[in-house]
Amino acid sequence: MKILVTGYTGQLGFDVIRELKARNVECIGTTRNEFSLTDTEKMQAFVKAYKPDAVIHCAAYTAVDKAEDEVELCDQINHLATKELANVCKEINAKMIYISTDYVFAGSGEDFYEVNDEKAPQNVYGKSKLDGELAVQEILDKYFIVRISWVFGNNGKNFIKTMLNLAKTHDKLTVVNDQIGSPTYTVDLAKLLCDMALSDKYGIYHATNEGICSWYDFACEIFKQADIKINVKPVPSTAFPTKAKRPHNSRMSKKCLDEAGFNRLPAWKDASLRYLQELNM
């Protein structure tokens, strides 16, 4: 078994490679040095030459607000490059794992989204990731689409790091409490993605750490776990206008994981505690 992972410099790609290496699976993590996702020819030539049995596609255009101004570039990376990667996977008969997002849904109401619920992305990034999903489904039979949300990992920027940094210079913070979802720790997700890559239980899945919270709840828990005394005040999203609209409801059902016999990820509070330990907090 040989696996190619895109986005090695990103939060998720880095931990997926770490997990594969820990399992002694032959693998390569690609960066812009090997190919840019915008250079189809170079990307396809590289993948064909390496000839993996599976591709875990972690690389993406992830600047959600900037995407509102860079619509074409976002589409090129998240949609068109995904399509071309799927085409080369088909050609070499490789499985493909495409990482997607809660942003493919409208994000209204309070119900947990099932994998096949209606899609209605509310921003450019969400639309580009959905178009990536649709391309994968159209081209391949051997695919996994894994929707995740609120990602934190060692290798990159994330909400936990932002909160810890803000706490160095503030004794009061306001955090939104009307967006509800689930954090996803890359170390935990990497284990599931490797299990998937080594299986043939293809399909669409939701995979986040267990439990739901608001960003406000998440911030309070981080400060509690890191033993940081700070005054955190809950505020509505309207207090932080953003260029790209954010979903209020990111609850996603994990029924599909259960039905396929995959383990759910641990509780998010357990994950954030382990992450803080990894950061030496």
Ligand X SMILES: NC(=O)c1ccc[n+]([C@@H]2O[C@H](COP(=O)([O-])OP(=O)(O)OC[C@H]3O[C@@H](n4cnc5c(N)ncnc54)[C@H](OP(=O)(O)O)[C@@H]3O)[C@@H](O)[C@H]2O)c1
**Rounded Cα–Cα distance for residues 69 and 56 (Å):** 28
* Nearest distance, CB of residue 171 and ligand X, angstroms: 27
Cβ neighbors of 232 (< 8 A, separation 6 or more) are 172, 173, 174, 175, 216, 219, 220, 223
Selected binder of ligand X within 11, 82, 122, 272 (CB under 6 A): 11
Candidate list 105, 113, 144, 150; residue touching ligand X; CB under 6 A: 150
Q: Is 60 in the site for ligand X (CB under 6 A)?
A: yes
- Per CB under 6 A, does 196 bind ligand X? no
Q: How many whole angstroms separate alpha carbon 35 and alpha carbon 60?
A: 13
Comparing C-alpha atoms, which of 198, 172, 153 is closest to residue 25?
198
Q: Quick check: 101 binds ligand X (CB under 6 A)?
A: yes
149 touches ligand X (CB under 6 A): yes
Cα radius of gyration rounded to whole Å, the chain: 18
Residue 117 or 233: the one with the smaller Cβ distance to ligand X is 117
- CA 208 – CA 224 distance, rounded (Å): 22
> Does the protein bind ligand X through residue 209 (CB under 6 A)?
no
- Does the active-site annotation cover 125? yes
Q: Does 208 bind ligand X (CB under 6 A)?
A: no
| 12 binds ligand X, rule: CB under 6 A | yes
Nearer to ligand X, 80 or 232 (CB): 80
Give the catalytic positions in this structure: 125
